[in-house]
Amino acid sequence: MVGIDEVKRLLIWLARPKRKAILEQLTHDEGKKTLEVFLKAWEPSKGLDRLREDLAEQISIVAENKKVHWKWQDIGLLQHHYNNLKTPYSTKAFAVQSQITNLEGWGWFFKARNIIIIHIAFWLALIFAYPKFPQVQAIFFWNPWVRRILGVGYVGFLLTWFPPFRRKLFEPFKPSLLADAGLDNFYDQSYFPESKVKVPVSGDILPITPALPSIQRQIILEGDSGLGKSMFLRHLLKNSQRIVVYLPAQKCHKGVIEAIQDKLHGQAQDAGFLKNLIYSGAIDICIDGLNEVTAETRAKICQFVESYFRGNIIMTTQPLEWTPPSTAKTYYLQPLEQQQIQEFLISRQPRLPQDAKIQGADYAKACTDYLIEVFQQQAKEELDAVRRILSNPMDLTVVALMLSQGKHPNLFHLQQQQYNLMAAEYLKEWNQEFPLKKFSAAVYEMRLQDKQALPADEFYQVAMSLSDEKYKMVVSRQWQDKKGEAQKEWCFRHDKIMDFFLVQNFLGETDAAEGLLVDRMGDPRFRGVYFLLATLLEIDAAKKLREELIQYAADTKDNTVSNTFVQLLRTR
């Protein structure tokens, strides 16, 4: 109960002639304190009806005063006054009720705002925890129902179209996405940036690095074996700031989406979500070696590329008869010119073995002297063949290794010469002959099964010798499996090296060898083998094979093998 002195002071204040003007100037805090005093004075007592009636009027004035900014926390105070004013002062209660209704609306707004803030904070915490916790990856992000329901629609949208979130999404899988590229064995100083490409439409010949600075839209890079297509892809991958997946074309036999899913350790089961990410450009795609797969696999890749025409995709292939995706532009990788050949040989010096016999200025002089010698060939066809071999960076790399060891490279039998040196080293180190026949048969089975890794358990000593720094015929690749255990495998450094061991199965006068010559004629995986056969077969056998290849080309309209075979055989 309010004391009589306080009631008197309140009545004196109410009697002031300018009290309405005062009420209009009240601040929020002053208005709230005034209502609190009114509330204390409201307690029922006899003889105070006029006071309560005047209080009701003042409460109404204060409540509807537009200069008083009510907060939604004040709703309890206004509700108390509203209950007191409903009877017998219902007309005075209307102003209070309007303020209560307004504050209730703001109350719902602030509650919704807090819920949204909590929801955003929850998903932000999950996104930052995502790379380190497989459970978070599997349960919240790659589970379509959880992502759609708990994400309330906007989470999936942001993951698909907001670049920082997209990078987070693929961050845990980056080593797996690039595993097949072998970047552990790639050094940017070994990349030769002066190679040139023929640009589509304009036909200009430009250095490849400025012509293709990054993976943009859809690109086909076409060039002969050994010109550096895969090396260029590795250069792009090494310097890319975006999420990129590297796919050997053989791994796309089920489809490109399926090949990418296999690299996500089976957690990205939502194929639809993955397709949206690819369509939005969240991940760039490299597909290497279209010429090494069947026509059926190429058709699947082409269908994928045309379906995802907004994606950033680059593909490499050797020349072959096929219908490329209509949405892609083809760049043609050019052979090295004579000046570039010398620059390339000298640029190999930092990557030569540390124990090389010839180094420094002596190595540069050896390169210059060797090129002067080989370019002095008199016969035009022989000179053309020499230029064709030396314009190939892969063959030039072998030449550089041999020159550094003090050897004289035989351009028409480079792989055989390199093998002979390695085999002699193998005999010296392991005290036994190199198992060429057995190993070549195993390589043939690898090729048939589209496997990349050597059977190291059976050929450990072979892998050690082939990976020697002086020969670099195979390279090792290390990674961690799903259980976190270290794994290691050996792969051929280039298809030309694999072709040398594959061709051993085609040589000889056995029925098996002769059968392979016919059976593999239309298999793109053995294309390089037939080019080697043009120089390794006896001349009569080579001519016979030439006629068979020409007949095959006439029947299939595919003369990519026969044309090169005829050119190589002509040099003999």
Spell out the domain ranges in the chain. Answer: 4-108, 171-333, 506-570
Question: Which H or E element spans position 385?
Answer: helix 380-390
Distances (CA, A) of 121 to 125, 129, 130, 141, 489: 6, 12, 14, 16, 43
| pLDDT value, residue 69 | 57
- Greatest alpha-carbon span in the chain: 134
Question: Which H or E element spans position 492?
Answer: strand 486-492
3-class DSSP assignment, residue 439: helix
| pLDDT value, residue 12 | 46
pLDDT in tens, the chain (572 residues): 444 455 445 444 544 444 555 445 555 555 556 656 655 655 555 445 555 555 555 556 555 555 555 565 566 655 666 565 555 555 555 556 666 666 666 666 667 777 778 777 877 777 776 666 665 666 556 666 666 666 656 666 666 666 677 677 777 778 888 888 888 777 777 788 889 999 998 889 999 989 999 888 899 999 988 888 988 999 999 888 888 999 999 899 899 988 888 887 655 556 777 787 777 777 899 999 998 888 889 999 999 999 888 889 999 998 888 889 999 999 999 999 888 999 999 988 888 888 888 988 999 999 999 999 888 866 777 788 888 888 888 889 899 989 998 999 988 888 899 999 999 999 999 999 999 999 999 999 999 888 888 888 889 999 999 988 778 888 887 766 656 667 778 888 888 899 999 999 999 878 788 888 888 888 888 988 999 999 889 999 999 999 999 999 888 888 878 888 988 888 77
AA letter at 167: R
Q: In terms of Cα–Cα distance, which of 313, 274, 307 is closest to 166? A: 274
Q: Which residue has the tokens 């039998």?
A: 413
Task: Report the DSSP beta bridge partners of residue 288.
Answer: 248
CA 511, CA 531: separation in Å to the nearest integer?
Answer: 21
3-class DSSP assignment, residue 200: coil
CA 368, CA 219: separation in Å to the nearest integer?
Answer: 36
Q: Where are the alpha helices (DSSP H) in 255-359?
A: 256-263, 271-279, 295-307, 338-347
**Those residues with Cβ within 8 angstroms of residue 47's Cβ, 6 or more apart along the chain or in another chain:** none
Domain 171-333 indexed as CATH 3.40.50.300:
yes
* Residue 354 CA neighbour count, 13 Å, CB half: 0
Angle among Cα 492, 231, 312 to the nearest 5 degrees reads 120
Q: Are 289 and 317 in contact (CB under 8 A)?
A: yes
| pLDDT value, residue 143 | 64
Q: Are 357 and 410 in contact (CB under 8 A)?
A: no
Q: Are 418 and 395 in contact (CB under 8 A)?
A: no
